[in-house]
Amino acid sequence: MPELPEVETVRITLLPLLMNKKIVSVQLLYDKMIVNNTPESFTSRLVGQTFRGIERRGKYLIFILSNLKMISHLRMEGKYYLKDESIPIEKHEHVIFTLDTGESLRYHDTRKFGTMELLEFNQISQTGFSSLGFEPFDDEFSWIYLKEKLAHSNRPIKGGLLDQSVISGLGNIYVDEVLYSSKIHPARLCSSIRDDEFKKIAENSKVILEKAINLGGASVHSFSYGDGITGRFQNELNVHTHADEPCNECGYVIEKMKVAGRTTYYCPNCQRM
Ligand SMILES: [Zn+2]
């Protein structure tokens, strides 16, 4: 599942490829992915729109068009491809935006969980987009903000940090890495987290996401152009997917367990209950 660094990498990659290109037609082959619009209105309003920018909020991509914005969530398996329009449409390509350059931007999604929503600039989204919490790069984000959101919660800290209305952009991979770097057991209750630990979580969230963005994320298969790009951050993971291997800090064997319904990796020595 693409997380914030992967989505940011998709954004940075797509931006120069789409800027100032105009949509001349749209083919929608799977209606259910469109939120808050009829399929007819979605496709007809996009025709004639020009790409003016791409922004990102949490794990949502926001395509800025001439006078509309399109919010795209890749969910589990969504990917964008830019291809020559003459190349036949493949099985899992569900939305095809034909451009005035003879290229087509294609949204590919084997699981079909992704969503697209077309909005006026001042219109409020009807998806989870409108309830997103701050992300670690926001000025308003701090350990105090995290503490206010979580200190009274009796869920595991892992679940609290996965909650996109608390902190947007941390998913399963990065929460494991942030908790490892902060030396906090993922199953500890939010209410047991001390001030100095909230400080470490806030600091490590920013450092780890920044590093991941610089390395292109952990597993970018979310965009392909030519040979595509592959994230290099997966080589930097300390615990996630490293069960039964020695901890880089202490040599203890890394374990995995289910926390908040998600497979979670941790070092039982560095991250004590
Ligand atoms: Zn360890």
Q: Residues 52, 75, 155, 262: which is the catalytic one?
A: 262
- CATH classification of the domain holding 85: 3.20.190.10
For the chain, give the longest Cα–Cα distance.
59
- Predicted model pTM: 0.82
150 & 69 share domain: no
Cα 142 to ligand 1 centroid, rounded to whole Å: 27
Cα(159) to ligand 1 centroid in Å equals: 22
Please indicate whether residue 117 is annotated as part of the active site.
Answer: no
Does residue 157 come out as left (phi exceeding 0), alpha (psi in the -120 to 50 range) or beta? alpha
Q: Is 49 inside a domain boundary?
A: yes
State the residue range of the domain holding 251.
143-266
pLDDT tens string 147-202: 999 999 999 999 999 999 999 988 899 999 999 999 999 999 999 999 999 999 99
Last residue of a domain, one of 131, 155, 174: 131
Is 197 one of the annotated active-site residues of the chain? no
DSSP 187: T
* Domain contains 54: yes
Render pLDDT for 203-252 as a digit per residue (tens, 0 to 9): 999 999 998 888 876 654 444 433 334 466 777 899 999 999 999 999 99
Catalytic: 155? no
